[in-house]
């Protein structure tokens, strides 16, 4: 982990972005991380096939709070398909590189946002943790 990552995590944890219960959402999705016990709800509002607003609430850990805050800044006013294609590299590009055992805490939010989008689309799809395993296959083998 780099000093930049440490400072980003500390800053976003102290001053999270979009950490509130949105009232006028189009979809909300509640999930918990069985590894670190983060218990979170994400809220999304859409306009013209883009994410107009994003927020999150409940009980996230330090790395999760930082990654979700960073995610909030990256996905507002982005197209839904673009958001559906983001993964861990998105955060590394934004200087949030963490130790391999904490990488799930970084990308779990993307999984939950993807599932909120599936729910809003009513496409009867649901992304599972298997996507995370596929993403980190090389890391898990180390």
pLDDT tens digit sequence for 22-75? 999 999 998 876 666 777 899 999 999 999 999 988 776 777 787 778 778 888
Hunting for tokens 């994410």 — which residue is that?
Answer: 51
CATH class of 3-141: alpha beta
- Report the alpha-carbon distance of residue 74 to residue 91 in Å, rounded: 10
Tell me the C-alpha distance between 103 and 93, whole Å. Answer: 14
Nearest alpha-carbon partner for 129 in 97, 105, 98: 105
CA angle 114/115/118 to nearest 5° reads 90
pTM of the model: 0.77
């Amino acid at each position: 982990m780099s000093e930049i990552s440490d400072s980003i995590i500390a800053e976003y944890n102290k001053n999270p972005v979009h950490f509130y219960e949105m009232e006028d959402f189009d979809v909300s999705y509640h999930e918990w991380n069985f590894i670190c016990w983060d218990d979170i709800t994400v809220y999304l509002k859409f306009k013209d096939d883009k994410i107009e607003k994003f927020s999150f609430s409940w009980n996230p850990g330090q790395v999760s709070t930082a990654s979700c805050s960073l995610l909030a800044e990256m996905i507002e006013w982005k197209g839904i398909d673009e958001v559906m294609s983001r993964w861990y590299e998105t955060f590394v590009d934004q200087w949030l590189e963490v130790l391999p055992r904490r990488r799930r805490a970084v990308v779990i939010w993307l999984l939950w946002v993807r599932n909120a989008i599936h729910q809003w689309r009513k496409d009867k799809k649901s992304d599972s943790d298997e996507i995370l395993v596929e993403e980190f296959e090389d890391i898990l083998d180390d």
